[in-house]
Structure 1
């Protein structure tokens, strides 16, 4: 019976010691400080935001160009001259197919 009393006394003493330690130590929270380091590269191939390094450097080099308004308009006009013939041919072919189907079914 004395063994049970001794064990109970030890348990009670440990509880009191734990409570005393809990009261002494205030709840300290570690503050998160962002130092800017990345743990993992989130530029994953296949995601919509994926940009290979090759394209990002090319885009940066193009943005560094200082084009005048006249040069920019000349570039746009040149691109339109390249794409318009193809677009017109595609529209004419689509119109021709539409006419062929309409005459066939009437």
Structure 2
């Protein structure tokens, strides 16, 4: 941040800092949710992919079909939930049927020993 402050005279203005804060809010919310996932002993790499897929879907709906933005947001959230439910159902099926996956706390404790 210090580097950019010296490179541009407008970097430390309140408008720019507000813009940076707004743009980093989504990442912060996802990171906060990921903390709880990691605390429960699970590692889920789909956390970053699902919001990305939902965002692409929303953008395509707004641009290509001229869908109203609030409706596109609702559809994007629905698509994200659907993808997540499918992934959870698939991975839970693997865990219960084949026992291929184990909680990451066991994996980490095995690798530490």
Q: Give TM-score, length-normalised by structure 1.
A: 0.27
* Higher relative contact order structure (alpha carbons within 8 Å, sequence separation ≥ 6): 2
> Which structure has the highest helix share of the two?
2
